[in-house]
Every structure is written in structure tokens, then in C-alpha cells.
Amino acid sequence: MFVDNSNKEKITDWLALERTKMANQRTLLAMIRTGFYFLVMGLTVVTVDELGGLRQYYWLFFVAGALFVIIGVIHYFYNLNKLNKKYESSLSNE
């Protein structure tokens, strides 16, 4: 059976690129999930009376949650742009 090695390399590169894109998506979702956890902790600190000592720090949880989401989105689009440039440059070299 004849195997075309150049086609096999292209498929391997494409699969590696797809795995990397999915890892980038998983990272984004993890950052968003963590950000939402911090937002929920901030809401909990505000609403639960027994946490009176922490009540003054609720804004830290909100800021941390927002930062996680913002950093996750920036990181996602930065890596996506980098991946697309790398893929385009590898196509132009062929």
C-alpha cells in the first residue's frame, strides 16, 4: 500500500493545530469559570450576615472575578491570533 508522506504530515500538523485550539478554548472556559466563582464569593460575602468581618472585602472578590474573565479573554484571542499567523505562515512556505 502506498502512503503519501507529505499528505500525512499535513494531516498531523492540522490535528496538532486543532488540539492546540481546543486547549486554548479549555483555558478560556476555566478562566471564565474561576472568575464566576470569585463573583459568587463576593455575592456570598455581601449577603451572609455571619461573614461580617469579610463584608468590607467583597469588592476584592468582584475585582478578582472580573480580572480572571478579562485576562482569560485577552489570553484566548492573543493565542488564537498567534496560532492563525503560525498556520498561515506554514501554508505559505509550502
**How do residues 57-86 score in pLDDT, each as one tens digit?**
889 999 999 999 999 999 999 999 998 888
Which carries the bigger pLDDT value, residue 5 or residue 83? Answer: 83
Its sign, for the CA torsion 79, 81, 85, 88, is: positive
Q: How far apart (Å, rounded) are the C-alpha atoms in residues 27 and 21?
A: 10
- The residue-averaged pLDDT of 5-33 equals 87
Residue bearing cell 505559505: 92
pTM of the entire predicted model: 0.77
Flag whether pLDDT at 47 surpasses 50. yes
| pLDDT in the model for residue 38 | 96
| pLDDT in the model for residue 55 | 80
- For residue 63, what is its C-alpha cell? 475585582
